[in-house]
Amino acid sequence: MNPEKIYPRTNDYETVYLKNVVKDPSIIVGDFTMYNDFVKDPRLFERNNVLYHYPINQDKLVIGKFCSIACGAKFLFTSANHTQTSLSTYPFPIFFEEWELNVRNITNAWDNKGNIVIGNDVWIGYEAVILSGITIGDGAIIGTRAVVTKDVPPYTIVGGVPAKPIRKRFSDDIISALLKIKWWEWPEERIKRHISDIQSGRIDCL
């Protein structure tokens, strides 16, 4: 176990521990969260997958521990949202030089939706899209090519365009227990001892 390495599997250069390849301080990733990309270099995640994420907005991408992010998943930030309060969606403030506008008003070109927050133990499927301002709860699953436009509750599976709930992964009692246990916050050695219990669904052993 070494959450500080880049490649967690020997001779597998398509999968990285995301925390160790991201440089932008406004992208915060927890230990053991992994990203797989069989099309592009997974080390370029913040350039290829975190889109329209400009420092002027001061918004953040926060991803918890033990998440699994599939190839091509995208996180679309505020600057992708052309303003709808204007009579036109054309982003005049971006072209402030062309139209002799004040550069300090550049953020008027879009509607600020805020941070994207992904919980712990979340699985984001192939080419899923997460929009700005969205919070995804612990243990959720985002289906392949889903477009997430609303918050996703913990341990809920969503899919489609726009993404809608398909079902809960467990009963309410088990979900409540898992959210109290928070196994992802345990010391690594304790997690290691209980991997078989986690995988076998023996929540009473946790």
Q: How far apart are CA 76 and CA 136, in angstroms?
A: 14
pLDDT greater at residue 45 or residue 79: 45
Q: For strands 15-17 and 34-36, give the pairing.
A: antiparallel
List the one residue out of 132, 102, 134 whose CA is nearest residue 118. 134
Q: Are residues 46 and 122 in the same domain?
A: yes
Q: Which residues are catalytic?
A: 82
pLDDT digits (tens, 9 = 90+) for 20-68: 999 999 999 999 999 999 999 999 999 999 999 988 888 999 999 999 9
Question: Which CATH number goes with the domain that contains 149?
Answer: 2.160.10.10
Q: Are residues 127 and 181 in the same domain?
A: no
Region 94-104: mean pLDDT is 86
Give the position of tokens 């679309």: 76
For the chain, the domain total comes to 3
Q: Are residues 60 and 98 in the same domain?
A: no
pLDDT of residue 11: 93
Q: Are residues 187 and 141 in the same domain?
A: no
Record the pTM.
0.92
Q: Are residues 176 and 164 in the same domain?
A: no
Region 156-178: mean pLDDT is 97
Q: In terms of residue numbers, what domain contains 92? A: 83-109
- Other Cβ atoms closer than 10 A to 45: 21
pLDDT of residue 166: 98
CA 51 to mean position of chain CA atoms: 12
Q: How far apart are CA 181 and CA 66, in angstroms?
A: 15
Q: Are residues 127 and 205 in the same domain?
A: no
- pLDDT of 3 strictly over 80: no
Q: Are residues 72 and 103 in the same domain?
A: no
Q: Are residues 136 and 72 in the same domain?
A: yes
